[in-house]
Amino acid sequence: MGDNVELRVEHLTKWFPVRMGFFATLLGREKKYVHAVNDISFYIKKKDIFVLAGESGCGKTTTGRMVLRVIEPTSGKIYFRDKEITALSKEEMRALRPKMQMIFQDPYESLNPRMHIRDIISEPLIVNHLATDKAEIEDKVLRALEEVGLTPPEQFIDRFPHELSGGQRQRVSVARALITNPEFVVADEPVSMLDASIRSAVLNTLLELRDKENLTYLFITHDLAVASYIGDYIAIMYLGKIVEIGDIEKVMKDPKHPYTQALISAVPEPDPTIKKKRVPLKGEPPSPINLPKGCIFSGRCPYAFDRCFKEEPQMIKLENDHYAACHLLEKS
C-alpha cells in the first residue's frame, strides 16, 4: 500500500433502523434495518480520483458522507493518512474539516439564495476560524473564483445564486469547497444536473485543480461515461457492497463481475454507428431491508448457480489493481 495512501476505509458498514409502528414496538417485534452499506473496504492514493459508481440505492452517497463523518458509521474504520478519523472526537474532527471538504450534487439547492456569492464562498473560512481579516477574506474569495474559472471574479462576487447559470453555480460550490485549501474532496454527483457542454467544463476544472492543488477526490457518480473520463480507480457498488474494484482502464475495458458487465453494456454510446450487445438482467434490485442470502446479486444474475444462492463470494484478485467478488472467477 505504501505511504502515499490518503484515505483508507476498512469494513465500513451503515445500517439505518426502519421506523416501526407503536404496536410493533410494543409486541417486541424484531427491529429491522436498511442495510445501506455492508462491510466495504478500499483505499485512495494521494492525487488519485477514486470513483464510487452504482445505481440509485447502492450506498455510494452514504459511503461518501460517512467518509467525512457527516453521518456516523455503524461499524468499520476510516483512516485519513495515518489518523483514524472514526476514533476522533467531535472537536478533533472539526479541526480536520478544512482539510476534508465536500461538493454537493445540486447547485440549485446547496447554495443559500439569500447570500451573496462572497458570503457563500467565505463561510467555511469564517466557521473554521481560518481568517478574520476582511481584506484577506476578500482576497481569498477572489482567488477562489478565479481558480474555478469565474472570471473576472469582481463581476461575480456581489451576485446572488439566482443570477448565475447552473454551471456557474456548481463552480461556486467548487470554490466554496476549495477555499480552505483541502487535501481531500468528496464530490457527490457534482455534474449530474448540468448540461453536456457545461458538464465537460466543470469536469476539466476538477481535473486541473487536482494537478494544481495536489487534491485527492472521492468522486461519486451514477454515470459510467463520466466516471471513465475523470477516474483513475473505480469501485462498482451494488446493494451496499463493492462487487468490483480496480484501475479504471481495466474495469471499463474488461469488466469481470456480471453486474459490472451488465451496467457497462447498458450505457448508451454517443455514436449511432456503435450498437452494443446488452447483457440483460432479471428483475429489479431487491429491498436493502432483507438482503438475499449468498451473493447479493444472485437473484438478478444471468449466470447464477447453486452456490451463489448459499455462499457469499469473497473479493478475488484477478491481476494487479483489479478485484471482483464472484464465484465464477474462482480458479478451480
Partner 1 sequence: MEQGTVKAVDDVSFTIPTGKVVGLAGESGSGKTTIAMSIMRLLPTNGKIVGGELLLDNEIDLTKVDEEFMREKIRWKKVAIIFQGAMNALNPVLNVGEQIVEAILAHENVSREEAWQRTKELFEEVGLDPARIRNYPHEFSGGMRQRVMIAMALACNPSLVIADEPTTALDVTIQAEIMELLLDLQKAYNLSVLLISHDLSVMAQMSHNIAVLYGGKLMEYGDAVSIFKKPRHPYTQGLISSLPSVSRTKKERKLVAIPGAPPDLLNPPPGCPFYDRCPLAQDICKKEMPPLQKIDGSLVACHFVDETKDRNIWRE
Single-letter code of the amino acid located at 68: L
Q: From CA 308, how far away is CA 304, in angstroms rounded?
A: 6
Footprint of partner 1 on this chain (CB under 8 A)?
55-56, 165-168, 195-201, 203-204, 207, 222-226, 228-230, 248-249, 252, 262-275, 278, 281, 284
Q: Which residue has the cell 477572489?
A: 142
Q: From CA 278, how far away is CA 196, in angstroms rounded?
A: 24
- Least distance to partner 1 from the beta carbon of 243, Å? 14
- Least distance to partner 1 from the beta carbon of 235, Å? 16
Residue 175 to residues 77, 188, 209, Cα–Cα distance (Å): 30, 15, 11
Residue ranges of E strands in 88-193? 100-103, 184-188
- Least distance to partner 1 from the beta carbon of 328, Å? 19
Exposure b/e, 264-275, CB count within 10 A at least 16 = b: beeeeeeeeeee
Q: Strand 233-238 relative to strand 49-53: parallel, antiparallel, unpaired?
A: parallel
Residue with Cβ nearer partner 1 (2 or 270) = 270
Single-letter code of the amino acid located at 73: P
Single-letter code of the amino acid located at 161: P
Residue with Cβ nearer partner 1 (10 or 223) = 223
- Least distance to partner 1 from the beta carbon of 229, Å? 4
Residue with Cβ nearer partner 1 (21 or 268) = 268
- Least distance to partner 1 from the beta carbon of 124, Å? 26
